[in-house]
Amino acid sequence: MALAQKLIQGGLAPGDVHLFEASQRAGGLCASKTVDGYTYDETGGHILFSKNKPVMDWVIEQSGGVDQFTWNDRNTKIRYEDRWVHYPFENGIGDLPDQANFECVSDYVKAWHERSASHSEAPADFESWIQWRFGEGICEHFMRPYNEKIWKRDLAEITSGWVAGRVPDAPIDDVLRASIGIRTEGYTHQSKFAYPLKGGFQAITDGFANSLEKNIRLGTPVTDVRKVGDTWKVNGEEFDRVVSTIPMNLVPDFLQDIPGDAASAMRELSNNQISCFLLALDRPEHPDLSWVYLPHHNQGPANRITYMSNYSPNNAPDGKSSFLCEVTSRGGSAFPNASLVDEVIDGMAHAGLLTRDEILFTDRTDTRWAYIVYDHGFEARKAAGLAHAEAVGLHLLGRFGRYDYHNSDQCVIEAEKLSVTLLADAKKG
């Protein structure tokens, strides 16, 4: 939808822009749900932030303006046994028990020294990378158990490519300060974030959809796409250009005349899916927290908990509060069974985050597409898929459309770039 907005704002006639949407709601992964006055995001905890102020301002404007948002100071923790550890972990190791603190800072210094002395390159697999980057202490106490929870794989099966640009390197001085109790901050680009006052994160894409109502065809899945000369046919209807945001894995299901090697490369791209749980609580308020990571297996299957009712005062009824709990599973597998919610609740109770008698009800949403998995061979498979799309003139866009691990602001940036190309093509034509 961001691309459609950019094209129309760039001068393309509104009647020349058509969006095919398989579901009855536009917005893709920006989906939210309200149950008995409790609102939660169906595909995990989302926040709106960006280093790019013009992009941030544009998204807010398209979503109804700044008055439709609340602004939050990020207060994120890691639940380590019965302690709150400052986030990110390397900036919070002073909150650990003494022995764990020593192991983490000692091994971090050793890893830093070995990298500096050897000028070694980053290892290709993620298991080796976290040891190379953080040392064994931080690996043992947080990075390994947490990432095993979220990726559901041996970490050696994953490449280190996905962390490039996503995990800032904490200066060693900051880690040493943190170890002795001097508070340091990491990931400062997220330190303040916006969130819609009403409607959950979906309110952002609802704002886009409101102005594109005449352009969007809801309940219209794409089943057949083919190139006929210089013209595209989508479900038998002719168009000049086609942009696909459908997961690249599924492109061979509708794109005709795709070679077998390109089709196999697309289909074999890996992802993880997600089950999200709303826990509606009979509790007037939460601690002033944004979200919490649960690295230990005895804390249940959830890897991240969002204090959903802290994001907006309208996410829960007056005098009540709520959690959003995330559990991943391997893409293409059966979703965990109905008992999963009990395992989530038992783990959270063990972590000291709630008691069962506070829970009024729960709600669950399963989503097939949540995380890109950078397994070995990922880059080659992605490149083969993109190369075929480019060769036939099919434009791919979006987190799963291109298999780029992008946040929402980065998706807007890529949509803007593509709009420039398409508008230039339209002028030539």
Q: For 307-332, give the DSSP string.
A: -HHHH-TTSS-TT-EEEEEEEEEETT
pLDDT of residue 191: 85
Long-range contacts made by residues 418-427, C-beta under 8 angstroms, separation at least 24?
Answer: 418/3, 418/243, 419/3, 419/6, 419/7, 419/10, 420/10, 422/7, 422/12, 422/241, 422/243, 422/395, 423/7, 423/10, 423/11, 423/12, 425/241, 426/12, 426/240
Residue 129 to residues 149, 160, 162, 309, Cα–Cα distance (Å): 17, 6, 11, 36
Name the β-bridge partners of 112.
none
What's the rounded Cα separation, in Å, for the pair 251 and 381? 13
Answer yes or no: are the C-beta atoms of 301 and 344 closer than 8 Å: yes
pLDDT of residue 164: 63
What's the rounded Cα separation, in Å, for the pair 400 and 390? 16
pLDDT of residue 94: 96
Of 402, 407, 367, give the one whose Cα is nearest residue 46.
407
What's the rounded Cα separation, in Å, for the pair 365 and 342? 15
Answer yes or no: are the C-beta atoms of 275 and 329 closer than 8 Å: yes
pLDDT of residue 161: 82
Residue type, 77: K
Rg (CA), the chain: 23
What's the rounded Cα separation, in Å, for the pair 19 and 243? 9
What's the rounded Cα separation, in Å, for the pair 42 and 338? 17
Copy the structure tokens of residue 222. 């794409």
Copy the structure tokens of residue 150. 């979220």
Name the β-bridge partners of 39.
34
pLDDT of residue 162: 83
Answer yes or no: are the C-beta atoms of 70 and 313 closer than 8 Å: yes
Phi, psi torsion values for 135, nearest 5 degrees? 90, 165
pLDDT of residue 189: 64
pLDDT of residue 165: 59
Q: What is the pLDDT of residues 284-298, one digit of tens each?
A: 999 999 999 999 999
* Residue numbers in the chain where pLDDT is lower than 70: 164-168, 187-189, 429
What's the rounded Cα separation, in Å, for the pair 246 and 223? 11
Cβ neighbours around 210 below 10 Å, total: 12
Residue 392 to residues 230, 249, 261, 269, 401, Cα–Cα distance (Å): 10, 17, 15, 20, 16
Answer yes or no: are the C-beta atoms of 204 and 59 closer than 8 Å: yes
Residues constituting the chain: 429
Q: What is the DSSP string of 143-183?
A: IHHHHHHHH-S-GGGBBSGGGTTTS----HHHHHHHHTT--
pLDDT of residue 150: 96
pLDDT of residue 316: 98
Tell me the pairing of strands 237-239 and 32-35. Answer: unpaired
What's the rounded Cα separation, in Å, for the pair 184 and 152? 31
Cβ neighbours around 315 below 10 Å, total: 30
